[in-house]
Amino acid sequence: MSQPSSLSDTHLRPLFEAVSITKKFGDFIANNDVSFTIHEGEIHALLGENGAGKSTFVKIVYGLLQPNNGKIFWNGNQVFIPGPQQARQLGIGMVFQHFSLFDALTVAENIQLAMPPGETIASLSVRISRLSAEYGIGVDPDARIHNLSVGEQQRVEIIRCLLQDPKLLIMDEPTSVLTPQETGQLFSVLRRFSENGLAILFISHKLDEIRALASHATILRRGENVGSVVIDGQTNRQLAEMMVGAKVKNISRQNAPEKSEVLFEVKKLCRPKDSIFSVALRDVSISANAGEIFGIAGIAGNGQDELMAALIGEWRGHDDGILIFDGMDISGKGPAERRVMGMGFVPEERNGHAAVPSMRLAENVLLTGHSLGNLVRYGLLDLFGMRAKANLIARSFDVRLPEGNPLASSLSGGNLQKFVVGREIVNVPRVLIVSQPTWGVDVGAAAFIREAMLNLAAKGSAVVMISQDLEELFTIAHRVAVLNDGILSSAEPTIDLTAEKVGLLMGGTHVSREERT
């Protein structure tokens, strides 16, 4: 990737200024006296841990929230932004992390829903095609959304914003669902926007991307601006330590044992589609050895949810493949039975799947511990044991929580994720199946979780990790396979792979035309 623009501020006109923005929710201060400036044509990154106040701040900029104190200036004039419509009228557009598109409608029909009334589909399609060609975005106005890749859907969101003639484009985690190749294409488009004077506020956890794209960054920590810096010359470590306010530990995998037993095998697993929006699994095979982390890469929506449900026993097919744990066929066994045998599971969705927000932490321990025999005796709950187990997890995995036995909903996303991962690892499972272990958590929590998985593998367990984060896979996985359209590629040692090669596999280069039909 090319280096970010290094234009001096003296060549740019201030477009947006936030002055002493403060936002409170009851006694909680989400933003505290936040000030910074974005200039015309500038790509400005907004960094911070989960809970640092980034989402609150951009919602204020886009009119979704109102500050308790502070001022916003646009082109030098103080403005009030009561809602998204007024933000768009000023020239502020936003592409959200989670797309708001209707799968059954065409591109033009989706975009028409966000436009002022009166324009026909035919004239709008012409404008979409013209803008698409101008920026090389490649969007077919007649295509239906459900036939588009995730990267193509993101282009639709961008085109929808551009048709409203924004001067400032806010992008929230825009690369989280893209291949490296799609990310490179997106960055090329964003640089062209910048060259034409469009300012971009870019939110991402991926520091390599920030350094490749942005010229400036503002870092929020606990709701406060702890610094606005010129990116040129900053290292990932320096940015990360500004975000967390402490030293960040280097995490890297150790070599896996050269010869070790196979602890978990999947042989030719097939699963039919449950609906038109689900993905069929076709002849998926996995072999995870003792002492290794087996990584599964892929863009969301390529069968990860279906595969996870099969691996942990929430879905069990008939004669559709064999799952073997420690030499035993477990194909017909459910999650509780598999746990008793020595497996552990961390699903992707921590709220509602891995944990129940309205239950206390000790009760959430029981969700996965009831079948292990030490928390339920003679039909009675061991309340003291449940509390003790929750406290052990909190101490061992640096889970920062209120006093007593708090509700799961009272924990931040990163702390709840450390808790649900710790709940499994504290039992030292022989095999751990985990999906998106550091999704949406901050740099410090991510480093802690990754180190915990590496330590588990070092004790001789096998870890099967489904992840969209290529940096994570290259950092801790020993071997990586790629899932595309329900088909899993052959696993290769991570040291033999490049991001470009994995990106091509994520795009489906290992899937033949016959296999897709």
DSSP 314-362: SS--SSS-EEEETTEE-TT--HHHHHHHTEEEE-S-TBTTTB-TTSBHH
| Alpha carbon separation from 385 to 117, 375, 391, 398 (Å, rounded) | 62, 6, 10, 20
Phi, psi of 230 (to 5 degrees): -80, 130
What pLDDT, on the 0 to 100 scale, is given for residue 511? 56
Helix (H) or strand (E) holding 156: helix 150-162
**Residue at 204: amino acid letter:** S
Give 19's contacts (C-beta < 8 A, 6+ positions apart).
35, 70, 71, 72, 73
Q: Per 3-state DSSP, what percentage of the chain is helix, strand, and coil (rounded to 5)?
A: 35, 25, 40
Average pLDDT value for residue range 44-53: 84
Q: Give the pLDDT band of residue 319 (cuts 50, 70, 90).
A: low
The full DSSP string for 83-98 is SHHHHHHHTEEEE-SS
Counting Cα atoms < 13 Å in the Cβ hemisphere of 462 gives 20
Q: What's the chain's average pLDDT? A: 86
Structure tokens at 348: 């992707």
Q: What is the pTM of this model?
A: 0.74
CB crowding 291-319: b at 16 or more within 10 Å, else e: bbbbbbbbbeebbbbbbbbbbbbebeeee
Percent pLDDT > 70 in the chain is 93
The 10s digit of each residue's pLDDT in 499-513 is: 888 888 887 765 554
Burial of 233 (0-12, 13-18, 19+ CB in 10 A): exposed
Neighbour order of strands in the sheet with 168-172: 92-95, 168-172, 199-203, 43-48, 216-221, 224-230
Average pLDDT value for residue range 42-65: 89
What pLDDT, on the 0 to 100 scale, is given for residue 318? 62
* Contact in structure between 191 and 136 (CB atoms under 8 Å): no
* Contact in structure between 306 and 300 (CB atoms under 8 Å): no
Q: Give the pLDDT band of residue 349 (cuts 50, 70, 90).
A: confident
The 10s digit of each residue's pLDDT in 211-261 is: 999 999 999 988 899 988 999 888 888 888 888 777 766 777 777 777 789
The residue behind tokens 């409608």 is 105
More confident: 315 or 206: 315
Q: Give the pLDDT band of residue 131 (cuts 50, 70, 90).
A: confident
Give 285's contacts (C-beta < 8 A, 6+ positions apart).
265, 266, 267, 268, 269, 488
Average pLDDT value for residue range 298-313: 90
Question: In this predicted structure, which of 5-19, 80-94, 180-194, 458-472 has the lowest mean pLDDT?
Answer: 5-19
More confident: 265 or 148: 265
Which residues is 287 bridged to in the sheet?
265
Domains annotated for the chain, with CATH where assigned, are: 9-244 (3.40.50.300), 262-355+426-516 (3.40.50.300)
Average pLDDT value for residue range 303-323: 87
What pLDDT, on the 0 to 100 scale, is given for residue 420? 92
Evaluate if residue 10 carries a pLDDT over 60.
no
What pLDDT, on the 0 to 100 scale, is given for residue 432? 97
302 three-class SS: coil
Average pLDDT value for residue range 391-412: 84
The 10s digit of each residue's pLDDT in 265-279 is: 999 999 988 877 688
Q: Give the pLDDT band of residue 415 (cuts 50, 70, 90).
A: confident
CB atoms within 10 A of CB 332: 11
What pLDDT, on the 0 to 100 scale, is given for residue 510? 59
Evaluate if residue 41 carries a pLDDT over 90.
yes
**Whole-angstrom Cα distance, residue 343 to residue 264?**
10
What pLDDT, on the 0 to 100 scale, is given for residue 170? 93
104 three-class SS: coil
Helix runs in 426-469, H state only: 443-458
Report the candidate in 97, 96, 100, 59 with the shortest Cα–Cα distance to residue 81. 59
Evaluate if residue 11 carries a pLDDT over 70.
no
Structure tokens at 281: 């699994």
| Alpha carbon separation from 152 to 55, 111, 146, 155, 159 (Å, rounded) | 24, 14, 10, 5, 11
How many residues make up the chain in this entry? Answer: 517
Helix axes 499-506, 180-195, angle to 10 degrees: 100
CB atoms within 10 A of CB 367: 14
